[in-house]
Structure 1
Amino acid sequence: MRLDRAYERMTAVAVAALHERRPERLWPMLARALADVCGGEAVVHKPDDWSESEGTIGTVPDAAAAELARLDDTGLGLLRAGYPFALHYAAGADRTPVSAQRAAGRTWPDSPTARLLGETLDVDHVLGVPLPESTAPITGCLVYRAGTDFTDDHLTMAERAQPLLTAVERQRQLLLDWRRGLGPAGAPDQRAADCGLTPRETAVLLLLTDALTADAIGRRLGISVRTVHKHVENLYRKLGTRDRVGTVLRAQRLGLVPSPGPAGAGTRSS
């Protein structure tokens, strides 16, 4: 797949993901597209804090998930340890995607992790695609393939995809925090749907509630100030308001955002 076509496909999937109301579906959606455009056969995505002993590991396709489900604690520990990427990225601030073969050199094929992946997934190579802003632990995706190592084009495509992954991850975190702060599962989503709000507009509304400027909202979501203003205009129209303060008050009355006070304080991560 040519780089321009691959990027167009990844962008289209990212846009679709930003309209997905269920945060738990976002990473699987992106992971499938990332595997395709980067020449992979399976992807493990690690969206939460994780270590060798704990943390969420999501996998696509389902066949790969079934194979990894059979691993014992030792095998899962090796997978979570993320060799050789944890050591590679811990050495500095560089978050450029790299394959295990390039990061570890000749030691990779004979490593316990490579042997484990060969036995469980029948793959030989891994491509690390970290979220650019992740520090410790490093979060992101691992793309797997059999046969030859990932090419320079595959690495270029992975690097181009990083900002898209970051934008979707920021929205995922906002929507998860929003759900936790507004009661039973499904209730916030239904209220937003009843008002005709898209998930992206909901994310902008949450940041408006935090009194962020359009510039700050744009930086947080990875979008332009012009796009922020467009979302704000849509919020005004859909909620029947004319300014930010009125919009936030209206959203609070409708139960779309937490009301002021202890019950609604501190529900969103920075």
Structure 2
Amino acid sequence: MGSDRAYERLTAIAVAALHEREPARLWPLLAGALADLCGGEAVILKLDDWSEREGTIGAAPDAAAVELERLGDADLALLRAGFPFARHYADSADREPVTAQRAAGRGWPDSPTARLLGEALDVDHVLGLPLPESTAPVTGCLVHRAGTDFTDDDLAMAQRAQPLLTAVERQRQLLEEWRRALGRDRAPDERAAQCALTSRETTVLLLLADALTADAIGRRLGISVRTAHKHVENIYRKLGTRDRLGTVLRAQRLGLVPPSAPPSPEAGPA
């Protein structure tokens, strides 16, 4: 029952996150609920292209983030190397959650990474939770805890959470693309707010401008076609339009989407 409540909490937070306009806030909103769901104490986020020399490291709760900020370059490089998950996931297409203990076996407790995590975060065990569609580098979350290793039930709950995490990550990527395309100086968030568009509707509008159908939008965002159609209808109503072409043209005039968008092979009626 406790796991079900934790999953309901994660689901509610994920839905709320999809309405957040600031993409950098999406994952921090989820981190605490994700740790509770998987029986963890802290979460490290691995969302961009990591190497041993560069890549953003995000962490929650705040105390964990503060501890990571105190690490030197050599220690950060060790964390970015992602032992043992980088090797584990690189060797196959399997993206099921796994613990460091199971992936590395007896070599985990005495590894430099385990010692570093024990000193920095006072944790012994790590659960790798990759995004199912990530390739190379593999992206996702690392859930940490002290004491005993994560259980089979913890792994099952982590796997159950993967679709929610994928949806949030797709939303984050689209919002980042949208901001880069328009530029912050054009105040895209303010323009969307003036039209009463939610963050989710904004990303759907961006995909409409990319000539994707409602079916394709649903696949891209991991939502049902019915939900995609509902978002499209709301956009039409709020912009006072009747079809995709008119909607995209009006959105371009309002500065909500780039002046021109590349054609898509999935183009068709919305």
Q: Tell which deviates more after alignment, 2-11 or 221-230.
A: 2-11
Task: Read off the aligned partner of 2:120 and give its amino acid letter.
Answer: T
Is the 1:6–1:157 Cα contact (8 Å) retained in structure 2? Answer: no
Aligned partners of 2:185 and 2:44: how far apart in 1?
Answer: 26
Offset of residue 265 of structure 1: 6.0
Is the partner of 1:94 in helix, strand or coil?
coil
Offset of residue 184 of structure 1: 2.1
Q: Note the 1:163-174 alignment, pairs <5 A.
A: 163-174=163-174
RMSD of equivalent CA atoms: 1.3
Summarize deviations over 1:38-95 as a string: whole Å, max 9, x none.
1111110011111111111101111111111121111111101111101111110000
Identify the residue that residue 204 of structure 1 maps to in structure 2. Answer: 204
Identify the residue that residue 39 of structure 2 maps to in structure 1. Answer: 39
Is the partner of 2:143 in helix, strand or coil?
strand
Task: Read off the aligned partner of 1:35 and give its amino acid letter.
Answer: A
Q: Provide TM-score, normalisation by structure 1.
A: 0.94
Identify the residue that residue 220 of structure 1 maps to in structure 2. Answer: 220
For this pair of structures, how many residues does the alignment match?
Answer: 263
Task: Read off the aligned partner of 2:84 and give its amino acid letter.
Answer: P
Summarize deviations over 1:182-233 as a string: whole Å, max 9, x none.
1225810010011000011011100000111111111100000000000011
Q: Tell which deviates more after alignment, 72-81 or 223-232.
A: 72-81
Identify the residue that residue 162 of structure 2 maps to in structure 1. Answer: 162
Aligned partners of 2:180 and 2:262: how far apart in 1?
Answer: 12
Aligned partners of 1:80 and 1:265: how far apart in 2?
Answer: 35
Identify the residue that residue 65 of structure 1 maps to in structure 2. Answer: 65
Offset of residue 249 of structure 1: 0.7
The answer for unaligned runs of 5 or more in structure 2 is: 264-270
Identify the residue that residue 54 of structure 2 maps to in structure 1. Answer: 54
Aligned partners of 1:191 and 1:200: how far apart in 2?
Answer: 14
Aligned CA distance change for structure 1 residues 186 and 142 (closer, same or farther; 3 Å): farther
Is the 2:44–2:143 Cα contact (8 Å) retained in structure 1? Answer: yes
Identify the residue that residue 193 of structure 1 maps to in structure 2. Answer: 193
Identify the residue that residue 147 of structure 1 maps to in structure 2. Answer: 147
Summarize deviations over 1:136-187 as a string: whole Å, max 9, x none.
1111100000001111111111101111111111111111111111122581
Task: Read off the aligned partner of 2:23 and give its amino acid letter.
Answer: P
Aligned partners of 2:50 and 2:185: how far apart in 1?
Answer: 25
Summarize deviations over 1:86-122 as a string: whole Å, max 9, x none.
1111110000001111111111111111011011110
Q: Note the 1:1-270 alignment, pairs <5 A.
A: 2-184=2-184, 187-260=187-260
Offset of residue 4 of structure 1: 2.3
Q: Tell which deviates more after alignment, 176-185 or 71-80.
A: 176-185
Is the partner of 1:129 in helix, strand or coil?
strand
The answer for unaligned runs of 5 or more in structure 1 is: none
Is the partner of 2:184 in helix, strand or coil?
coil
Using the aligned pairs only, state the percent identity: 79
Q: Tell which deviates more after alignment, 63-72 or 41-50.
A: 63-72
Aligned partners of 2:70 and 2:236: how far apart in 1?
Answer: 51
Is the 2:125–2:150 Cα contact (8 Å) retained in structure 1? Answer: yes
Aligned partners of 2:86 and 2:185: how far apart in 1?
Answer: 35
